[in-house]
A and B are shown apart, each in its own frame.
Chain A
Amino acid sequence: MSGSPGLSYFLRRLSQAVLVMFVVVLGNFLLIRLAPGDLVDVLGGTTDLSPEQALALRQRYGLDQPLLMQFLRYAGNLLHFDLGFSPRQGAPVVNVLLERLPTTLALVFLSLFLSVAIGTAVGVLAARRAGTVADFGLSLVVLLFYATPSFIIALLLILGFSVYLPWLPSAGISTPGLDLEGFAKLLDIGRHFILPVIALSTFYTAIYGRLSRAAMLEVLSQDFIRTARAKGVPERSLLWRHALRNALMPIVTMAGLQVSSLLGGAVLIETVFGLPGIGRTAFDAVMERDTNMLLGVLFMSSLGVVCVNLLVDLIYRLVDPRVELA
């Protein structure tokens, strides 16, 4: 290996990521194009088209070309981030997605942050009291969260905190008809995010709870902890600084892997809570057969996941230099 090992490692990971994106793009394209019925058939289902009009539309969207040509044109457009036009939305796909991206990013990353924070805290507390009633109780709650699909949690939260205790809004991203500015507006939007974020994060909280409990138990049984305890490190600092720092690695890895899964969960949560994000857009695009929009959502979310994975890889190497350069 020549040059800096870090750089060549990064370049190799980057080329792998590009390859992965190519496979994703090709796979999605084939899936959507090989499905029965194209965009024109769908448009024809709602408005009556003559054969001539249908042919003209197919020519306009390039659907009369051979599959390979269609793919090359599609991939070529992707390279300068042209995701095509959505006839349903009457706007370029990129514009629609970029406008709705912040909602989904806020939902996904707030949920990730909340679940890592609470899950880790629960895991550490359970590990410290391993074998006691408190540990059993926490593990039971974690087990229940782990088994409950997010949309069921969402419905229960709406029932509890929007219907019976009318504290929080259950739909939309802001209170309609209320013309707020500045901080008040932010507060209003924030209130609309509370239930969706909790609903999306419970399952992942359970995962981190289980994971960090196991990791902490393993670390706490190691020699350096006994040494630290012997030299009089206070129990609290032992737990939260010495042990947790070493138990964090599997949690960081897991957090990187979860971004993709959280984006999938956003489809459900955004649909239940009527949040105008990417997930909701994807669901609508499936229902309306908006193929360009659908391909765009798949491309954008995969690109996001690839970038996050790359980032996690780098962070991982920065945090723990022992990690192999393979």
Chain B
Amino acid sequence: MRRTFKALLKHPSGLVGLVLLAGILIMAASAGTAYPEGPWPMDGTPTLWPGEERAYLLGTDAMGRDLLAGLLYGARVSLAIGLAATAVALLVGVTAGALAGYHGGWIDDALMRFTDAMQTIPSFLFAVVIVGVLTPSLLTIICSIALVSWPTVARLVRAEFLRLRSLDFVLACRTMGMSDARIIFRQILPNCVAPIIVASSVLVATAIIIEASLSFLGLGDPNAMSWGTMIGAARPSLRTAWYMTLVPAAAVVATVLALNLIGDALNDALNPRRRER
């Protein structure tokens, strides 16, 4: 673990990604102390441009809410949803992929047809439908993102298990009389941690994009100030006050960029065969 982290710091894009992500984390952590009254109070003059007034560093939106406060609280929402949705997707995807890859047979067939079906429905459309039909909230957003992301994990883990299950060390475990559950979780799974970690950073990035897109469409949690909500709310003033769009948009791009850079660096660090690229 520590060696991976060191490799990340040495990798140029890994370093940039980590620095960016650290910035986002600091934003999320400081939201409560910097703005204890939350991102909602409409106490500023509406439509203040960034730098126009010292108290509102990044300006205010059309309703007089502080954009910086929204930005900090939005970091919390994005990171929380990204991490939670990825955790659920990993839990479901790894379990399903491991069982299917290890056992094969009808379990494998059933899983493959099911993931085929899941990947046939356009995933963002599916997320819109689920959140819309079940009414938008943090929980439904997390569930919908996890639901559209787990098949990718399941396929990845299944492929790794298919490759590993016929190797000698698994045969040795079986000969020793080890239980299936123990072989799956204690012996094979640790060997596919690397691709799962690489996939996770991309999953978090995708989850953050889906969340921003949903809340931009007005399908965000009405009680959570998210970057997508801010961009959506700024749309009517796009022509006159574009900073309202640009400020949260830059935050989304920076976060996704950070996660992608870290993913690339992890891929290079954990797959030595492909390092020369």
Contacts from A to B (Cβ < 8 Å) = 16, 19-21, 23-24, 27-28, 31-32, 35-36, 143-144, 146-152, 155-156, 158-159, 163, 214, 217, 257, 260-265, 267-268, 271, 279, 282-283, 286-287, 289, 294, 297-298, 301-302, 305-306, 309
- Tell me the minimal C-beta distance from A261 to chain B in angstroms: 7
A5 to B212 Cα, complex, angstroms: 47
Q: Residue of B at shortest CB range from A210?
A: B264
Min C-beta distance of A237 to chain B, whole Å: 25
Name B248's closest neighbour in chain A (CB-CB). Answer: A152
Q: Interface segment, B172-180, B181-189, B250-258?
A: B250-258
B216 interface residue, CB < 8 Å from A? Answer: yes
- Measured CB to CB, the residues of B under 8 A from A are 113-114, 116-117, 119-130, 132-134, 205, 209, 212-213, 216-217, 219, 231, 235, 238-239, 242, 245, 249, 252-253, 256-257, 260-261, 277
Q: Is the CB of B129 within 8 A of A31?
A: yes
Contacts of B277 in A (CB 8 A): 214, 217
List of A residues within 8 angstroms of B212 by Cβ: 149, 151
In addition to A31-B130, A263-B122, A298-B125, 16 A-B residue pairs with Cβ atoms within 8 Å of each other are A20-B116, A31-B129, A35-B133, A143-B260, A144-B257, A147-B260, A149-B212, A149-B256, A151-B212, A151-B216, A155-B249, A158-B238, A163-B239, A279-B125, A302-B117, A305-B122
Complex contacts, A144 vs chain B, CB 8 Å = 253, 257
Choose one: A20, A148, A282; the contact of B113 (CB below 8 Å). A20
Rounded to whole angstroms, the CA-CA distance of A35 and B134 in the bound complex is: 6
CA–CA, A257 and B126, complex, Å: 16
- B180 → A minimal CB distance (Å): 27
Complex: how many Å from CA A106 to CA B241?
32
Given contacts A146-B260, A149-B252, contact A24 B121 (CB under 8 A): yes
Partner of A260, one of B123, B205, B209, B213: B123
**How many angstroms between the C-alpha atoms of A217 and B134 in the bound complex?**
47
> Mostly helix, strand, loop or mixed at chain B's interface?
helix
CB distance from B75 to the nearest CB of A (A): 16
Is the CB–CB distance between A151 and B122 below 8 Å? no
A91–B260 Cα distance when bound, in Å, is: 45
Selected contact of A152 from candidates B122, B231, B260, B261, CB within 8 Å: B231
Given contacts A147-B257, A155-B245, A260-B122, contact A16 B116 (CB under 8 A): yes
Known: A23-B117, A152-B231, A286-B133. A301 touches B260 (CB 8 A): no
Complexed CA–CA distance, A282 and B127 (Å): 12
Assess the B117–A282 pair: CB atoms within 8 A. no
A-B contact pairs, 23 of them (CB 8 A): A16-B113, A16-B116, A20-B116, A31-B130, A36-B134, A144-B253, A147-B260, A148-B256, A149-B212, A152-B252, A155-B245, A214-B277, A260-B120, A263-B122, A264-B127, A282-B129, A286-B132, A298-B121, A301-B122, A302-B117, A305-B121, A305-B122, A306-B120
Main secondary structure of the interface of A (DSSP, over half): helix
Query: Which of B117, B134, B261 lies in contact with A27, CB distance below 8 A?
Result: B117
Residues in B neighbouring A155, C-beta threshold 8 A: 231, 235, 238, 245, 249
Residue of A whose beta carbon sits closest to that of B116? A20
A264 touches B123 (CB 8 A): yes
Of A24, A35, A287, the contact of B120 (CB 8 Å cutoff): A24
Contacts A32-B133, A159-B242, A260-B122 given: A267-B128 contact, CB under 8 Å? Answer: yes
A152 touches B249 (CB 8 A): yes
- The reply to whether A264 and B134 form a contact with Cβ atoms under 8 Å apart is no
Q: Give me the 6 closest cross-chain CB pairs, A-B, nearest first.
A: A264-B124, A286-B132, A264-B122, A23-B117, A147-B257, A263-B122
Bound form: Cα–Cα A286–B235 in Å: 21
Take A35-B134, A286-B129, A298-B129 as given contacts and tell me if A267 and B124 are in contact as well, using a CB distance cutoff of 8 Å: yes
Determine the chain A residues whose CB is within 8 A of the CB of B129 once the complex forms.
31-32, 282, 286, 294, 298
- Return chain B residues, CB-CB under 8 Å to A143: 257, 260-261
Is there contact, CB below 8 Å, between B121 and A260? Answer: yes
B133 to A283, Cβ gap below 8 A? Answer: no
Which residues of A are found within 8 Å of B113, using beta-carbon distances?
A: 16, 19-20, 23
Distance to closest chain A CB from B100 (angstroms): 16
Q: When chains A and B are docked, how far (Å) is the Cα of A255 from the Cα of B263?
A: 22
B198 to chain A, nearest CB (A): 14
Q: How far is the CA of A159 from the CA of B249 in the complex (A)?
A: 13
Contact A268 B124 (CB under 8 A): yes
Which one, B120, B123, B249, B261, contacts A20 given CB within 8 A?
B120
Residue of A nearest to B13 (CB): A143
Complex CA gap A302/B122 in Å reads: 7
In the assembled complex, the CB of A266 is this many whole angstroms from the nearest CB of chain B, namely: 8
Chain A: minimal CB distance from B74 (Å): 14
